[in-house]
Amino acid sequence: AQKVTQAQTEISVVEKEDVTLDCVYETRDTTYYLFWYKQPPSGELVFLIRRNSFDEQNEISGRYSWNFQKSTSSFNFTITASQVVDSAVYFCALSGFLLRKTSYDKVIFGPGTSLSVIP
Amino acid sequence: DTEVTQTPKHLVMGMTNKKSLKCEQHMGHRAMYWYKQKAKKPPELMFVYSYEKLSINESVPSRFSPECPNSSLLNLHLHALQPEDSALYLCASSQEETGYSYEQYFGPGTRLTVT
Protein backbone atom coordinates (compact mmCIF):
# COMPACT_ATOMS: atom_id res chain seq x y z
CA ALA A 1 0.00 0.00 0.00
CA GLN A 2 1.05 3.57 -0.56
CA LYS A 3 0.95 5.83 2.44
CA VAL A 4 2.36 9.13 3.65
CA THR A 5 2.71 9.90 7.33
CA GLN A 6 3.32 13.33 8.80
CA ALA A 7 3.46 12.67 12.50
CA GLN A 8 3.56 16.31 13.53
CA THR A 9 0.02 17.65 13.42
CA GLU A 10 0.86 21.16 14.63
CA ILE A 11 4.14 22.93 15.31
CA SER A 12 4.72 26.38 16.78
CA VAL A 13 8.05 28.13 16.62
CA VAL A 14 9.28 31.61 17.36
CA GLU A 15 10.41 33.65 14.41
CA LYS A 16 14.01 33.01 13.33
CA GLU A 17 14.06 29.50 14.77
CA ASP A 18 14.79 26.57 12.49
CA VAL A 19 12.08 23.95 12.10
CA THR A 20 11.98 20.50 10.49
CA LEU A 21 8.80 18.95 9.18
CA ASP A 22 8.90 15.16 9.03
CA CYS A 23 7.55 12.99 6.23
CA VAL A 24 7.67 9.21 6.15
CA TYR A 25 6.30 7.28 3.21
CA GLU A 26 5.48 3.69 2.31
CA THR A 27 5.50 2.30 -1.20
CA ARG A 28 6.26 -0.91 -3.04
CA ASP A 29 7.22 0.97 -6.16
CA THR A 30 10.87 1.18 -7.13
CA THR A 31 10.11 4.33 -9.11
CA TYR A 32 8.16 7.01 -7.35
CA TYR A 33 8.00 10.74 -6.81
CA LEU A 34 7.79 12.81 -3.66
CA PHE A 35 6.46 16.33 -3.33
CA TRP A 36 6.01 19.06 -0.78
CA TYR A 37 3.20 21.61 -1.02
CA LYS A 38 2.46 24.64 1.13
CA GLN A 39 -1.09 25.79 1.86
CA PRO A 40 -1.22 29.26 3.46
CA PRO A 41 -4.43 30.48 5.13
CA SER A 42 -5.61 31.86 1.77
CA GLY A 43 -6.19 28.25 0.69
CA GLU A 44 -4.16 27.83 -2.50
CA LEU A 45 -1.71 24.94 -2.49
CA VAL A 46 1.73 26.00 -3.65
CA PHE A 47 4.19 23.52 -5.09
CA LEU A 48 7.59 23.56 -3.36
CA ILE A 49 9.61 20.59 -4.58
CA ARG A 50 9.47 17.36 -6.58
CA ARG A 51 11.99 14.57 -6.16
CA ASN A 52 12.15 11.20 -7.88
CA SER A 53 13.23 8.02 -6.15
CA PHE A 54 16.53 7.81 -8.00
CA ASP A 55 17.73 11.20 -6.89
CA GLU A 56 18.76 11.15 -3.24
CA GLN A 57 20.65 14.39 -3.33
CA ASN A 58 19.56 16.85 -0.74
CA GLU A 59 18.30 20.15 -2.05
CA ILE A 60 18.52 23.69 -0.77
CA SER A 61 16.46 26.61 -2.01
CA GLY A 62 17.01 29.76 -0.03
CA ARG A 63 15.83 29.11 3.53
CA TYR A 64 14.28 25.78 2.52
CA SER A 65 16.10 22.47 2.43
CA TRP A 66 15.01 18.89 1.91
CA ASN A 67 16.61 15.69 3.15
CA PHE A 68 15.64 12.57 1.20
CA GLN A 69 16.72 9.25 2.71
CA LYS A 70 15.51 6.09 0.98
CA SER A 71 16.98 3.91 3.74
CA THR A 72 14.48 5.33 6.22
CA SER A 73 11.75 6.21 3.67
CA SER A 74 11.82 9.80 4.77
CA PHE A 75 11.68 13.11 2.96
CA ASN A 76 12.04 15.80 5.60
CA PHE A 77 11.72 19.53 5.07
CA THR A 78 13.67 22.13 7.04
CA ILE A 79 12.97 25.85 7.17
CA THR A 80 15.92 27.87 8.40
CA ALA A 81 15.37 31.17 10.20
CA SER A 82 11.60 30.86 10.03
CA GLN A 83 9.43 33.86 9.24
CA VAL A 84 5.79 34.68 9.92
CA VAL A 85 5.05 34.20 6.20
CA ASP A 86 6.04 30.56 6.60
CA SER A 87 2.91 29.98 8.68
CA ALA A 88 0.88 27.47 6.68
CA VAL A 89 -0.12 23.84 6.40
CA TYR A 90 2.55 21.78 4.68
CA PHE A 91 1.67 18.60 2.82
CA CYS A 92 4.07 15.87 1.82
CA ALA A 93 2.82 13.79 -1.11
CA LEU A 94 3.75 10.61 -2.97
CA SER A 95 2.94 9.27 -6.41
CA GLY A 96 4.02 5.95 -7.75
CA PHE A 97 3.42 3.78 -10.72
CA LEU A 98 1.54 0.90 -9.12
CA LEU A 99 -1.51 3.12 -8.86
CA ARG A 100 -1.50 4.00 -12.54
CA LYS A 101 -4.76 3.35 -14.23
CA THR A 102 -3.80 5.46 -17.21
CA SER A 103 -0.74 7.56 -17.73
CA TYR A 104 -1.87 9.62 -14.79
CA ASP A 105 -0.53 9.10 -11.28
CA LYS A 106 -2.80 9.45 -8.32
CA VAL A 107 -1.06 11.56 -5.71
CA ILE A 108 -1.30 10.43 -2.11
CA PHE A 109 -1.22 13.36 0.29
CA GLY A 110 -0.10 13.11 3.87
CA PRO A 111 -2.37 14.56 6.56
CA GLY A 112 -0.39 17.80 6.70
CA THR A 113 1.54 19.67 9.37
CA SER A 114 0.26 23.04 10.49
CA LEU A 115 3.16 25.38 11.17
CA SER A 116 2.68 28.58 13.17
CA VAL A 117 5.55 31.04 13.30
CA ILE A 118 5.12 33.45 16.17
CA PRO A 119 6.64 36.92 15.83
CA ASP B 1 2.75 31.89 -16.28
CA THR B 2 2.03 29.24 -13.64
CA GLU B 3 -1.44 30.45 -12.77
CA VAL B 4 -4.59 28.44 -12.43
CA THR B 5 -7.70 30.57 -12.01
CA GLN B 6 -10.97 29.52 -10.43
CA THR B 7 -14.33 31.24 -10.27
CA PRO B 8 -16.21 32.00 -8.16
CA LYS B 9 -14.12 32.37 -5.02
CA HIS B 10 -17.11 31.87 -2.77
CA LEU B 11 -20.45 30.23 -3.49
CA VAL B 12 -23.48 29.75 -1.30
CA MET B 13 -26.19 27.56 -2.73
CA GLY B 14 -29.34 25.85 -1.61
CA MET B 15 -29.86 22.14 -1.93
CA THR B 16 -32.14 22.56 -4.96
CA ASN B 17 -29.87 24.95 -6.89
CA LYS B 18 -27.75 24.24 -9.93
CA LYS B 19 -24.41 25.99 -10.14
CA SER B 20 -21.06 25.56 -11.85
CA LEU B 21 -17.45 26.00 -10.79
CA LYS B 22 -14.96 27.08 -13.43
CA CYS B 23 -11.23 26.54 -13.76
CA GLU B 24 -8.79 27.78 -16.38
CA GLN B 25 -5.10 27.30 -17.06
CA HIS B 26 -2.84 28.52 -19.86
CA MET B 27 0.28 26.49 -19.13
CA GLY B 28 -0.40 23.95 -21.86
CA HIS B 29 -0.99 21.25 -19.27
CA ARG B 30 -2.92 18.25 -20.52
CA ALA B 31 -3.97 16.87 -17.13
CA MET B 32 -6.54 18.69 -15.02
CA TYR B 33 -7.98 17.73 -11.65
CA TRP B 34 -10.79 18.50 -9.23
CA TYR B 35 -10.18 18.04 -5.52
CA LYS B 36 -12.43 18.49 -2.52
CA GLN B 37 -10.88 19.65 0.73
CA LYS B 38 -12.52 19.71 4.13
CA ALA B 39 -11.11 21.81 6.96
CA LYS B 40 -7.88 20.46 8.47
CA LYS B 41 -7.74 17.61 5.94
CA PRO B 42 -5.64 16.98 2.83
CA PRO B 43 -7.21 17.38 -0.59
CA GLU B 44 -9.28 14.42 -1.81
CA LEU B 45 -9.17 13.64 -5.48
CA MET B 46 -12.53 13.73 -7.27
CA PHE B 47 -11.84 13.68 -11.02
CA VAL B 48 -8.94 13.66 -13.45
CA TYR B 49 -9.05 14.70 -17.08
CA SER B 50 -6.22 13.66 -19.34
CA TYR B 51 -6.15 15.14 -22.83
CA GLU B 52 -9.72 16.36 -22.28
CA LYS B 53 -11.03 12.89 -21.51
CA LEU B 54 -12.21 11.78 -18.11
CA SER B 55 -9.53 9.40 -16.81
CA ILE B 56 -10.48 8.94 -13.20
CA ASN B 57 -13.70 9.34 -11.26
CA GLU B 58 -13.05 8.58 -7.62
CA SER B 59 -16.58 7.26 -6.98
CA VAL B 60 -17.97 10.76 -6.75
CA PRO B 61 -21.78 11.10 -6.40
CA SER B 62 -23.60 12.00 -9.61
CA ARG B 63 -24.67 15.34 -8.17
CA PHE B 64 -21.14 16.42 -9.17
CA SER B 65 -20.69 16.45 -12.93
CA PRO B 66 -17.33 17.43 -14.47
CA GLU B 67 -16.82 18.79 -17.95
CA CYS B 68 -13.70 19.65 -19.93
CA PRO B 69 -14.76 21.84 -22.89
CA ASN B 70 -11.18 22.28 -24.12
CA SER B 71 -7.59 21.82 -23.00
CA SER B 72 -7.61 25.02 -20.94
CA LEU B 73 -10.97 24.82 -19.22
CA LEU B 74 -12.48 22.58 -16.59
CA ASN B 75 -15.95 22.91 -15.12
CA LEU B 76 -17.68 21.23 -12.23
CA HIS B 77 -21.47 21.28 -12.42
CA LEU B 78 -23.29 21.04 -9.13
CA HIS B 79 -26.89 19.95 -8.62
CA ALA B 80 -28.94 18.94 -5.59
CA LEU B 81 -26.00 19.12 -3.23
CA GLN B 82 -26.11 18.19 0.43
CA PRO B 83 -24.82 20.27 3.37
CA GLU B 84 -21.93 17.80 3.79
CA ASP B 85 -20.70 18.86 0.35
CA SER B 86 -19.68 22.20 1.82
CA ALA B 87 -15.91 22.39 1.35
CA LEU B 88 -13.08 24.05 -0.53
CA TYR B 89 -13.02 22.85 -4.14
CA LEU B 90 -9.61 23.01 -5.73
CA CYS B 91 -8.70 22.74 -9.38
CA ALA B 92 -5.18 21.77 -10.45
CA SER B 93 -3.26 21.06 -13.62
CA SER B 94 -0.02 19.35 -14.53
CA GLN B 95 2.06 18.15 -17.41
CA GLU B 96 1.14 14.73 -18.68
CA GLU B 97 3.77 12.28 -19.86
CA THR B 98 3.84 8.52 -19.56
CA GLY B 99 6.49 7.35 -17.15
CA TYR B 100 6.75 10.59 -15.21
CA SER B 101 4.88 12.26 -12.40
CA TYR B 102 4.80 16.02 -12.44
CA GLU B 103 3.94 18.58 -9.86
CA GLN B 104 0.43 19.97 -9.86
CA TYR B 105 -0.37 23.67 -9.94
CA PHE B 106 -3.42 24.58 -7.93
CA GLY B 107 -5.94 27.35 -8.23
CA PRO B 108 -7.07 29.40 -5.22
CA GLY B 109 -10.18 27.30 -4.79
CA THR B 110 -13.90 27.89 -4.50
CA ARG B 111 -15.26 27.88 -0.98
CA LEU B 112 -18.68 26.27 -1.28
CA THR B 113 -21.39 26.43 1.34
CA VAL B 114 -24.55 24.38 0.88
CA THR B 115 -27.50 25.58 2.95
Average pLDDT for residues B52-81, to the nearest whole number?
Answer: 93
B102 contacts A50? CB cut-off 8 A: yes
pLDDT at A103: 46
Residues in a beta bridge with B12: B113
Compare all CA atoms of chain A with the CA of B90 and give the residue at the minimum distance: A44
Residues A57, A87: Cα–Cα separation, whole Å: 26
Hey, is the C-beta of A44 within 8 angstroms of any chain B C-beta? Answer: yes
Q: Which of A44, A29, A55, A42 is nearest to A108 (CA)?
A: A29
pLDDT at B63: 96
Quick: pLDDT tens for B84-107: 999 999 999 998 877 778 899 999
| Residue B94 and residue B47 in contact, taking contact as beta carbons nearer than 8 Å | no
Nearest CB partner across the interface for B42, out of A42, A43, A111: A111
Residues B25, A12: Cα–Cα separation, whole Å: 35
Is residue B78 classed exposed, middle or buried when 0-12, 13-18 and 19+ CB atoms within 10 A define those classes? buried
Quick: pLDDT tens for A65-118: 999 999 999 999 999 999 999 999 999 999 876 555 554 567 899 999 999 999
**Which of A6, A23, A27, A47 would you mutate first to test chain B, the one with the most B CBs within 10 A?**
A47
Is B20's pLDDT higher than 70?
yes
Hey, is the C-beta of A46 within 8 angstroms of any chain B C-beta? Answer: yes
Average pLDDT for residues B66-76, to the nearest whole number?
Answer: 96
| Residue B109 and residue B6 in contact, taking contact as beta carbons nearer than 8 Å | yes
- At residue B1 the predicted structure's pLDDT band, cuts being 50, 70 and 90, is low
Average pLDDT for residues A3-11, to the nearest whole number?
Answer: 96
Average pLDDT for residues A52-62, to the nearest whole number?
Answer: 90
Residues A104, B38: Cα–Cα separation, whole Å: 24
pLDDT, averaged across chain B: 93
Average pLDDT for residues B21-30, to the nearest whole number?
Answer: 95
B92 contacts A45? CB cut-off 8 A: yes
